[in-house]
Amino acid sequence: MGTAGHIKGSLLVHLRTQVVHRVDDQAWERLVREAPAGDREVLGGLVLTASWYPMGVWNRALNAYLANHAPGTARDETTAYAERVADSDMHALFKVALRLASPAMVAARAGSLWSRYFDCGALTPTQVGPTQWRLRLEAPTAEEEGPSPMLCQFGIVGWAEQALRLTGARDASVVHSRCRFASGHYCEYRVSW
């Protein structure tokens, strides 16, 4: 077993907002009540957006929401959640400069944006054309160490597409072409606009 990973509290805050917005307050309360004791302590307490929290708590809470409380499919709910995170955090990260940011700027900074949310793994961008990039995600796959398959399959896609749209990209497309859970070592994404 490797080193336990951590996520920024903003991901937990956005998850709670997503559950309350898509379902209701009682759904979040049920999710917290049904969580393992250690997770309940974190999820039911004061979560600070800039603090770090255990990866496993977030993975289990997201998976519990998707399996037991979400009104839509795992794909739809994870994508909506990721878009919510991008909508909120991109404005906070870039402030006034978001209007001046380009899709290429966002793609080029994918690695530093990743490290704002996760203290494990790396997201490496590579430009392959004027409006085409490739992202490579290397991260642990254990529940306590790295983000779950939902993040790979739908979260990164939803977040990146929304972030690109926020900078003015009209035809933003992110395709998850390889998964670290299926192929072993890394995920790969084809990004274009």
Q: Rounded to whole angstroms, how far apart are CA atoms 75 and 99?
A: 29
pTM for the whole thing?
0.92
pLDDT at 2: 78
Q: What is the mean pLDDT of residues 127-144?
A: 97
187 DSSP assignment: E
Is domain 6-192 given the CATH code 3.90.1520.10 in the classification?
yes
Residues sharing a CB contact under 8 Å with residue 166, sequence separation 6 or more, in sequence order: 86, 87, 90, 91, 98, 101
Q: What is the mean pLDDT of the chain?
A: 93
pLDDT in tens, 161-181: 999 998 889 999 999 999 999
Residues 165 and 146 sit within 8 Å (Cβ to Cβ): no
3 DSSP assignment: P
